Amino acid sequence: MQILAINPGSTSTKFSIFNNDKELFEVVIRHSSEDLAQYNNIIEQNEFRFKLIREEILAKGYELNSLDAVVGRGGLLHPLEGGTYLVNQDMIDDLKSGNYGEHASNLGGLIADQFAKELGVPAYIVDPVVVDEMESIAKISGHPLFERKSILHALNQKAVARLAAEKLGKRYRETNMIVVHLGGGISIGLHAKGKVIDVNNALDGEGPFTPERSGSLPAGGLVDLCFSGDYTHEDIKKLIKGQGGLVAYLGTNDGRDIVKMIDSGDIKALSIYKAMAYQIGKEIGALAAAAGGEVDAIVISGGLAYDKDYLMPWISEMVSSIAPIIVFPGEKEMQALAAGALRVLKEEEGVKHYKK
């Protein structure tokens, strides 16, 4: 099966061609601010990015008619169960409208659909960021005006969870695992029998602080700040997401920079970086309690998982007594997209249908 996988980001578009689960080639197209400035919103970039991908594929000498399916990164839709979804008109309408938010990932399903219609093959998305499989008890926050939300790195989390299950000699749906994605945002989810039944809202204010997000802040202090008159609504949003965490404390969101700072004797950098590891370990421990102590593995992925000198040893020291730790540094998003489409094409898993 030949599959085109498309992963649009805010300043780049990544795509790969797969033959079953073997990646034939990958291309990353960078978009300058000048390229994108001519568009009023994300959706207007659709044709621009579609043409660039098409040109790159043809330049590689690849025959588009060889494709059996196209799969795109899932965008901001209403909350969904995990799985592989056929791109249909309801999904296209919601992605274009931005009803649930505007993000570059909204283009994934749209561009996939454009290729698919041209070639007469199916278009899919897989495990979008809005995957919501949380148990009802986990959604209760403490006040009826607020409900805990499931926003996580679902595509990568489920991909590495499946890889870890293989290592354990089990199927994903037979395991209980705590899966940790360590990137610019950090999501930590409890995967029980194939569903993410509890997870922190990794986008805007839950869980450990991250390279650029503040995580769970003291509520009273945050309320006082909001009404101090010194900050606008937008300022507070940026403080929580984009200008929080390591950036706020140390002026960088790059873990490699912080490792260099620590190596050069920077005591503050050491303290802050260790505090982030502490909060990550504490969140893992909380989910172990939610699992009743029955955890088959702790699975860690994302860019920060490459740090074997500081972050990973600190986290391991806190949580290794809970369960074996399995590490997949980096992200497996392209492989996860292709694998999700392949499971459906091989009829190993049923395709799901999106409804408004």
Checking if the pLDDT of 205 tops 90, the result is no
pLDDT digits 0-9 by tens, 270-279: 999 999 999 9
Checking if the pLDDT of 102 tops 90, the result is no
Give the mean pLDDT of 261-280: 98
pLDDT digits 0-9 by tens, 110-149: 999 999 999 999 999 999 988 999 999 999 999 999 999 9
What is the spatial distance between Cα 269 and Cα 259, in angstroms, rounded to a whole number? Answer: 8
Checking if the pLDDT of 189 tops 90, the result is yes
Give the mean pLDDT of 33-50: 91
Q: How far is CA 90 from CA 43, 53, 80, in A?
A: 16, 25, 14
- Three-state helix/strand/coil letters over 94-142: HHHHCCCCCCCCHHHHHHHHHHHHHHCCCEEEECCCCECCCCHHHHECC
Give the mean pLDDT of 307-334: 96
Topology given in CATH for the domain delimited by 154-330? Nucleotidyltransferase; domain 5 (3.30.420)
The pLDDT value recorded for residue 204 is 82
Class assignment of domain 2-128+334-353?
alpha beta
What is the chain's mean pLDDT, rounded? 95
What is the spatial distance between Cα 215 and Cα 247, in angstroms, rounded to a whole number? Answer: 13
Q: Encoding tokens for residue 135? A: 């148990």
Domain with CATH 3.30.420.40 in the chain: 2-128+334-353, 154-330
